[in-house]
Structure 1
Amino acid sequence: MKKFTGVLLVMALQGVFFQPALAQEEKTALVPLPSVDDFSRGDDGWSFGLGLGIEYETAYEGSDEFGVEVQPAGAVQWRNGDDVFYFAGEALGWRGLRSDTWLFDVAVGFDEGREEGDSDDGHLDGLGDQDEGAELVVQVRRTLDDDWRNHLVGRVVTGGDGTLGLFGVGHRFGNQYDGSGSEINLVAVFHDSEYANKGFGITAEQSAASGLPVTQMSGGFRSIGLNYNYRQNINENWQIFGEALYEHFSSDVQDSPIARSDYEAEVGIGFIYIF
């Protein structure tokens, strides 16, 4: 974590479902950002959301192949004031609001890795499979105004295969404080050489097996990314969400034989039932 067709789709759905949401009593989320799950309805204690999402996305980083994937959605959360502990899919984490202006989020999750079979056209043949591995994700957001209308965002992802970081700005649309509405973020993404080579490097052994030239990546600027999130409450229990993501790779990444496209994209939509 795609393109502008996804933005148009979720904006159209926003118009369809917006009126029922207005009739609800508004609940206060930890922060009113649609990209941050909060099923607590503003109350302390346990909360639980369960659903499914459908994603249309590139098959792997740098791929020119696309596919549809069904993913579980939702999380188990426990809230205590300005702190939320959560388990969402393969991620276990904590997020906390400080001074009403800083949002911290720390999670341990898993990188799915990459398999040769991810390319139906055989573009990964000979490169071998990459194992799934644990990774630490640390994110910080800082609001620039009183109502989280505009904010700065920074994120670091690190594990056994290098480190990726991003920094950018975001804007929230709508006046709701229950976490519904829409949000857009523009970020610059950087990676170290280890992370870059995991996705786009080719060793001598891989070169011999695949026929692709040996490629040694260096760290630095990776891409510019644009991410749009949408979330709307249909009624007391049902919620619709959508996401569109576009990442345009730097020239260094595009020069890798693995990068058969100069961008990565994803668009998704789904429903969650809040218990």
Structure 2
Amino acid sequence: MKKITCLAVFLLIQTAFYNVVMAQENKSVLVPLPSVDDFTKGEDGWAFGIGLGVEYESAYEGSDEFGFEVQPAGAVQWRSGNNIYYFAGEAFGWRGLLNDKWLLGALVGFEEGREESDSDDGRLDGLGNQEEGFELVLQARRKFTPDWRYWLVSRFVASDEGNLALFGVGRRFGDQTDGTGSEVNLVVVLHDSDYANKGFGVDAMQSISSGLEETKLSGGLRSFGIDYNYRKNINSDWQIYGEVLFEYYSSEVRDSPIARSDYEAEVGVGFIYKF
């Protein structure tokens, strides 16, 4: 029932904003932000990007183990004016420009699960496996300058196992307006008790199996974070991108026996071919 509700909400929001988006001239990109990929080259219709990236990241939330992971990159996109619909990896979504001030988006995708084998050191033994599930993500950015130099950012994630919200501010660097260059976002992340305990809680049965202290978290502050995005066009077809993410956990999360580290970090780089 929750999955059906998420899909219905997504379609309702998409339809509502589609009817009120103001018509404007096509631009080379929907908004000049390196974190928002746009392969349409300013034209309506289909666009494709395919590539490969390498990430060096925490093995799981709260892990002190790191490793490399190869990930596919790119997306299938369809543009209609100031709306882009896309399929990327395991997510289907929409983003649109409203009144030239608001960048709105919604997607339905998969939430990554967690397996005991994610820890090579056996830190998750006895906690059981968490399977993937559907999640609905709503996003909004509100610019403060005509060239999207500064903005407010927000994101809401709803899933069968809890909810998460993010609020912050961002800044774009460089003079490019084609979606290349770099940007940084400073954010605060909140979660409800269900989401908190999914990642960092230990129930009675898990405590017996793992030997970890039984732990139950409340909702509230999860972390403070910063992320940096970079994108550069090598030529008209090839593009390189990079991302650095750092998330510092709140005291309640750090006190969880699952949190072997006070932070989560990720560095990624990759190439995309646009056609």
Same fold (TM over 0.5): yes
Structure 1 stretches of 4+ moved >6 Å: none
Which residue of structure 1 lines up, in the alignment, with residue 158 of structure 2? Answer: 158
The amino acid that maps onto 2:178 is D
Which residue of structure 2 lines up, in the alignment, with residue 172 of structure 1? Answer: 172
CA distance in 2, matches of 1:92, 1:174: 30
Give 1:26-105 correspondences, 5 Å limit: 28-105=28-105
Give 1:180-195 correspondences, 5 Å limit: 180-195=180-195
Which residue of structure 1 lines up, in the alignment, with residue 22 of structure 2? Answer: none
CA distance in 2, matches of 1:198, 1:249: 15
SS in 1 for 2:208: helix
- Cα deviation for residue 157 of structure 1 reads 0.6
Which residue of structure 2 lines up, in the alignment, with residue 121 of structure 1? Answer: 121
The C-alpha deviation readout for 1:206-233, integer Å capped at 9, x for no partner, is 0000000110010000000000000000
Gaps of 5+ in 2: 1-26
Which residue of structure 2 lines up, in the alignment, with residue 220 of structure 1? Answer: 220
- Cα deviation for residue 190 of structure 1 reads 0.2
The C-alpha deviation readout for 1:111-157, integer Å capped at 9, x for no partner, is 11100000000000000000100000000000011110000000001
Q: Aligned-pair RMSD on alpha carbons?
A: 0.6
CA distance in 2, matches of 1:158, 1:67: 28
SS in 2 for 1:64: coil
CA distance in 2, matches of 1:150, 1:270: 26
**Paired residues, what number?**
249
The amino acid that maps onto 1:227 is D
The amino acid that maps onto 2:36 is V
CA distance in 2, matches of 1:156, 1:180: 26
The amino acid that maps onto 2:151 is H
CA distance in 2, matches of 1:103, 1:33: 11
CA distance in 2, matches of 1:140, 1:131: 28
SS in 1 for 2:39: coil
The amino acid that maps onto 1:184 is V
- Cα deviation for residue 159 of structure 1 reads 0.7
Which residue of structure 1 lines up, in the alignment, with residue 111 of structure 2? Answer: 111
Which residue of structure 1 lines up, in the alignment, with residue 144 of structure 2? Answer: 144
SS in 2 for 1:206: helix
CA distance in 1, matches of 2:128, 2:86: 34
- Cα deviation for residue 257 of structure 1 reads 0.1
The amino acid that maps onto 1:73 is A
TM-score, with normalisation over the residues of structure 1?
0.90
SS in 2 for 1:46: strand
- Cα deviation for residue 79 of structure 1 reads 0.3
TM-score, with normalisation over the residues of structure 2?
0.90
SS in 2 for 1:156: strand
CA distance in 1, matches of 2:103, 2:112: 27
Gaps of 5+ in 1: 1-26
- Cα deviation for residue 170 of structure 1 reads 0.3
CA distance in 2, matches of 1:133, 1:41: 34
SS in 2 for 1:148: coil
Which residue of structure 2 lines up, in the alignment, with residue 240 of structure 1? Answer: 240
CA distance in 1, matches of 2:268, 2:146: 30
The C-alpha deviation readout for 1:41-94, integer Å capped at 9, x for no partner, is 111110000000000000000000000000000000000110000000000000
The amino acid that maps onto 1:80 is S
CA distance in 2, matches of 1:199, 1:233: 37
SS in 2 for 1:208: helix
- Cα deviation for residue 177 of structure 1 reads 1.4
- Cα deviation for residue 178 of structure 1 reads 1.1
The amino acid that maps onto 1:39 is F
